Structure 1
Amino acid sequence: MMKAYSPLLSLPREVLDRIIDFYLAFDHDDFEDTLRPYLLYMGETEYSRPLPTLMLASKDLYRNLSPIVHKQAVLRVEVHGWNDRRIGFATHGNLRFERLEKLCLLIATEHPNWNSWLSFFSEVIKNTENLQVLMIDWAPRPVSSVGWTGRVNAKKENEFFSRIKTLKKLRLVQIYGNISLEWISRLEGLVPHVVCYRHRWWREPGMD
């Protein structure tokens, strides 16, 4: 049975917020990568992960953490082996797209590999009509704009930005990595606020 009150809540708000942010930070073990993301994440059975233990310590902590826990998730695309590209979600509790207000898109691949994730991301976007914050952590190398490869990449980029444009409640895009000025300009034309960081948001194993 949960206690009614936790002494943790007596801490100054700024200290409590830092503790909660650190405690709720996702790790590699929080992702369940799959080659069949539509089946796992959008199938008939609702995808679910355990709630944070701290959240269950008291009723007050549950009320304080619920808005954060239930309204954010991370969508990751990465490579296992040579060409085994997988998609994984990290979330706390039940993954319900309609209540997500913050989503991080983590593309942890050397190349954009649009065909391995863009259609699934588009389907996610269709179901996250309440999204207010989109984080993009972009690891791929820049793609030349010349030749067939450049034309294909430009087409996929246009599709990507057109999906973001459909998010009517989106207010902030935070973008991490080696992003071109063109991307920044295009995002600024789609949402009220764009914040850019040249460093990566996600820390790979072994990185300081």
Structure 2
Amino acid sequence: MKPIERITLLCTLGVVAYACSPDKRLVGPNAAKPLAAEAAGEDQPAYGPWGAPVNLGRVVNSAANEQHPAISKDGLSLYVSSDRPGGLGGTDIWVSQRASIDDPWGAPVNLGPNINTSGNDLAPTFTPDGHQLYFHSTGRGGCGLADLFVARRHDKRDDFGWELAENLGCVVNGPYADAGPTYFEDEATGITTLYFTVQNNPPGSDQGFDIY
């Protein structure tokens, strides 16, 4: 495992999460706001301008906070973090499904206790092969206030086939909070990178989160 490195982006306030679409287009930092829209730029060139955001509507969104979206490689499963009623804890990870790219999203369903806890479980991100799901949690104990976890499944099309999540360990996780993972694989080299945010000082200090 390579050493953890700190990286610098042109954004400094409130950066706690970011997402990378399956086609490797960077969606960009999310400043801790509820998920209210989807960037409609799927048919544009990889480095072209983004289209206007399109709200996903009341089937996916609720009066609660929906955030940290992650979409499966086939485009048929949308994972979101939400503190809507009916979950196992404060914020849980839910999945909306659709039969085809042209069909509307179905109502979100909770991923259950192998993923979610009585704490907060957020920021899902897939490996390109669809067999691993990384996220962060405050409800499973470990090295700090929030740790990074990974869950695995045998069938990449089974959204409810995830095995019990495992802690990534204290080499990756620190004593405070490690959050917002994004898994990236360079198709040209095969090199994989896990980006995430780290709180290096106790809560209440002047320093917030950095991206590593």
* TM-score, L = length of structure 2: 0.27
Bigger radius of gyration: 1
Structure with higher helix content: 1
Structure with higher strand content: 2
